[in-house]
Structure 1
């Protein structure tokens, strides 16, 4: 190995590292697969036990019902009565009690399809879904049982309500309590196969559950078409009846299944769970992905490690040469990554220090020149400031007064007020009374421009004084009414503005007698355009979706309502003012 080249050594080291990792990863995957399969078999066995207990509970409940009929005097009355006694009061009273009992049982146990009683003289009492079927053989077997309950395999009956269905029934001979050899009636309780399956089955996405007899006849199955017929796989039935293994694997079409069975207590029925191995494999998808990811990362890390060791020295020299050329072109941001203390690393460190020293000297002189230019520009900018504009407007207002033009002076004063409040020292919040004052100044200017075409009413309740509001909230609503609501209006436009408090909210109602929103929509115009949308978005962004603009119904014109939060001085400071 001493005579090997460095490249060969690195390749050998890389393979020696990766092969064991790959082997261990595959072993982990295999063991995980086996463990998951065993876990699924254990869960399936528990599932069979739970379902068996559920089924036995159902059978016990139904048998208890039939036993109750032996001892209850109302049932005995029905069984021993003759047909000509059916209309007597005591018979009718017993029948009412029995009907109530049957109704309670059908409601409490939805798997019970119907109940049939046959009296000693052959008269019938039926309750539940009206069905008919070939049940003579069941009566024969029940008579041979001499009063013991007899359960049937599934058989098909015709329903007067719905389509034909399969039922499993309990048939029992009722004997006289005083003479147990004397038959006084027959009871048959039919169970709906589909409802019974839903009652006892604990659903699973990975497996199917069904019950078959020792003859291979399907007793319960999620596929109703198989109920009452021979199970199509005779090999599986043979294992179910005779097999001693814990589980059985077989192929069903394209599916690979693992089957677990259990014989129901005191019956010739077997409960079976068929686990789909393909669905189990889906649970290993994340494991496979994780193992593949780890192998890929390790392979990539090994490859990078090999490449780094093989090329590190040469690449560092090439990088130093490249950055030196960058400095030659005037790029003083060039630098070399230094990650070692060898000779190449020290050379890179001194190169970086040299470039930084050169850059520092150049930057010092350059920044001094920039600061000098910025100072000159700031002096020029400060020569014109808002105070100059305020003072100029004030000078023009006084000049108008001296020229005996008070109305012009008043208009200039209002414009100056609007301009001053618009700037507001850079603040976004103003007091409500200042916002109303600003809106009134704007309305007066518009009224001067429009003359008799515009009139307004502006009211702010005292409860809002001292609270804050975002500036320029009311003015866009006024502008919307003037520009859209009063355009080509054949009468005087009137705007009514009402600002008031509603619990913890500030409400601004703006009502006009203009065209209204519906009228403009008829004319193909969109009155509530970008201005109102932007205003609503502005409110929602700052305060949340609970606040904003709402269009309300109005008999004449438009009705806009703005809902804002009540902001005291502390809350206004929290918002940045």
Structure 2
């Protein structure tokens, strides 16, 4: 009977006073916590993005400065005229031009940066011009650098960056210990003849700011390339950081979070480096922790409020419930005449009425059970009086067998012995269980009997391990299936019938396959049988009053599902006029 919620129902009161406020409160707190956490995280990432933009902007400025210095020199007419026509015939005029016009330009350009982070050199194509360290050097002395040769050979390229990992230019005595990025620019005459290269070198450690305020003491800046980390402001595990960056730099977002750290990054294609700004999330976690504590305090207060509210509500309910439980206990202790008096139209009132009805039904049931038990005992006594002693049958069969042996009919005597063993197996009621070995011996004896009346040769192939022979199964598991195989195999015009029994372990189950090469069956009939075997078991049909099923596949399938569970049933695979395979699956422990 469907339950109908009434206006004065306890369930309605509990929903109104408990469920709805709790749901509303949970939604509000969840929404508030989500918004607060998201705002804290967004504000933190925004602040760190501003700091990152400033740092990456500083790198851009330093790279642009290198381009400006190159432009200042490569477009200076005095330097171009000097390199193009150095007046080598007049040494005094050459030195005057070099010292008074050329050198001041280069010094002014490098002094413009107000730091020693930049250096400039000019590599000349004309070998007649003497080298003047550290500003003027001969280009031919640097042509062993393959990357430099390739750059000079490409007429459409006028500028190129060399990284610190590339082979350095110039004499080693001019190279300091600081790693440098070098911007090379081709220097042309007015006639578009290449006069040499202008090299502006930027110190690698000048690209990153090593001075950080106290609030960012856990932050780290470093440059990353495909081969690994090239420079960092602090000591870090470069191998571990390289693995993290290789995995995450493919993402489209300009940042990612990994193991309590925020990584912001930007790639500078000119120097082929990625600037990474690593920020500790400790401050963010502290802010979120404080927000979570506030939310928990709010939840605790709300729960306390709900407890107080529910206490008074349940107190009213359990006063009546305790009275009902008290009556129930007295009934359990034997006072079956007592009844619960509660006429209210709610769930507890309905419970009282149903319990009163249950007491009446229980009293009637006890009366019927007593009567049935008395009748059962009387019937059992009568059955015992007329029971035939099976030993009389066994002794009679032994007499027949001995008579046949005296007549030298040994095969028939053996079959009589097999029949006696089968009969003894059938009439044994000590247990419903047996072993797989005994079931196999039973079908061997059964086939021996069938061979007397059959003109066909019945061949039985059994494949079972010694371990499985002791496996316990229910009685008469295999014999009805073998009986079906012989029954329908006789209709096939063949001289022999082969029956195979394979027993093996598959996962957590024991699979038993009974295969015959007899008549087989159509696909429609096979599908119908499998559907019936898988269908929910109708317990009203599982009785011993159905003789045609007690010895057939339906009987085996019903007993399998009753004993092992609904998931264990027979499966049939067959092809018409070819073969039939019956598979049984049992739990293996």
* Fold shared, TM-score > 0.5 on shorter chain: no
- TM-score between the two structures when normalised by the length of structure 1: 0.39
Specify the structure having the higher radius of gyration (Cα). 2
